[in-house]
Amino acid sequence: MTTPDRRTRVARAAVPPGPPRRSTFSLLRKLFTDRLALMTDAAAYGDVVRVAIGPKSLYLVNHPEHAKHVLADNAANYHKGIGLREAKAVLGEGLLTSDGEVWRQQRRRVSPVFQAKRVAAHAGLVASEVDGLVRRLRAREGHGALEIGHELTGLTLGVLGRALLETDLGPYASLGHSFEAVQDQAMFRAVTLGMVPRWLPLRIQRRFRSSRADLFRVADELLDRHLAEPPGADLLRRLVPGGDRADRAQARAELITVLLAGHETTSSTLGWAFHLIDRHPEVAQRLHEEAVEVLGDRLPGYDDLHRLRYTAMVVEEVMRLYPPVWLLPRVAQEADEIAGYRIPAGADVVVVPYTMHRHPEFWADPGRFDPERFHPDRAAGRPRYAYIPFGAGPRFCVGNTFGMMEAVFVLAQVSRELRLSTVSGYRVVPEGMLSLRVRGGLPMTVHAVGTSRGRLAAAA
């Protein structure tokens, strides 16, 4: 509730600084072609910035304390915003896009699935799936480049299917492409300010409609299978309590959201990890040595996570430089004041982890890849909200523990036996969509590093 004193303070607050109006065409170009550059350039104006693009203004937040205000202290005033609004065409009122009581009910239903003890129970299954990835990659040694993003999407969907849905998602190979089309359409709607009619027969919109139909088909098949069989997968049981068919659209929306969020962020993080590890041989060597020392020739278990400490630091540093959720869009329900600047009611407010994770006040030499930043001695005293790869506040990612376990296992198991190299001369360009991905994919070649386990497996 807004008090009289606060209303007075908001009314007197200044307009945030930002690019001049004459920059509109340059900003529009970056909005379409390089959104990361747009955010980076805007951050140079300060920690709260107003970017006016045609009829719309974006209010960018790039400081931990201000992010805390939006995401936690005054979270009730900030509902889901640009990009996620457009994604509702497929995700409906799912956990990523819903607000208020609908979101709270969904969160309560899903949260128990991701409790630490349940995540621990899935560790062996995750390690087994990753072992399958290692075998597939080893088979590609000497056979040219592969698109690592495709392999990682297959892995993360496989883990998600077996661990949370108790089903094999292998027959649904189209899922990765369909989710990519949904992201493309959501971002297209966002950057065109929703002014392009959905009925126009543009290629991106035709592809979106086809992909949406595919996602609905997959979700309906999974739900039908669940309803026709004895109670099984805990997640599906929570999405469709009591086997009720009445709210099919809502159950479908929540399932599609879980499928997207459950694989996209982890596969994106792992792709960036393998690229950065390839560029830093000393990191690759330390990862290999830790995996051999901790695991020997066996698969990891949940208790190994605290022993694979350097591997975890690598994952954390990857997510600092390339946070899979690189911006957190919100809409102000009432006028607000942040750091002395006025945020109008209805304003699009964007917390930008991508720039905040590179803020020079909190990160020395912020562009450098340095996993040791996350050693407890160096991390002590760093503001909590300076690093928010899983979001923050009430909407902190419910699957963060599961995602970290999966990412650590992948880096440890792959680094123990293999080295992945980005194809020489290939230009790796980050692309800010709903997640932060490599534009055009990431072709890599596979090389063995000669562990005893790798030699035995190859000879088997």
User: pLDDT above 70 covers what percent of the chain?
Assistant: 90
- Helix H or strand E segment including 41: helix 35-43
Nearest residue to 60 via CA among 29, 35, 86, 87: 35
Residue 456 pLDDT: 41
Q: How is residue 151 written in tokens?
A: 């392999």
What is the pLDDT of the chain when averaged over all its residues? 87
Residue 459 pLDDT: 39
Residue 455 pLDDT: 43
Q: Alpha helix (H) ranges present in 175-247?
A: 175-191, 203-228, 234-239
pLDDT digits (tens, 9 = 90+) for 410-419: 999 999 999 9
Q: How is residue 36 written in tokens?
A: 């990361």
User: Which residues pair with residue 350 across a beta bridge?
Assistant: 60, 329
Residue 81 pLDDT: 80
Judge contact between 356 and 64, C-beta under 8 A: yes
Residue 22 pLDDT: 81
Describe the crossing of helices 175-191 and 248-279 by its angle, rounded to 10 degrees.
90
* Burial (0-12, 13-18, 19+ Cβ within 10 Å), 45: middle
pLDDT at position 443 over 60 = yes
pLDDT at position 232 over 70 = no
Cα 356 to the chain's mean position, in Å?
A: 16
pLDDT digits (tens, 9 = 90+) for 188-218: 877 776 677 777 788 888 888 888 889 888 8
Selected residue with higher pLDDT from 75 and 456: 75
Residue 421 pLDDT: 97
pTM here is: 0.90
Q: How is residue 94 written in tokens?
A: 């799912």
pLDDT digits (tens, 9 = 90+) for 69-128: 999 999 999 998 876 666 666 667 776 777 788 778 878 888 888 888 989 999 999 999
Q: What would you measure as the largest C-alpha separation in the chain, in angstroms?
A: 76
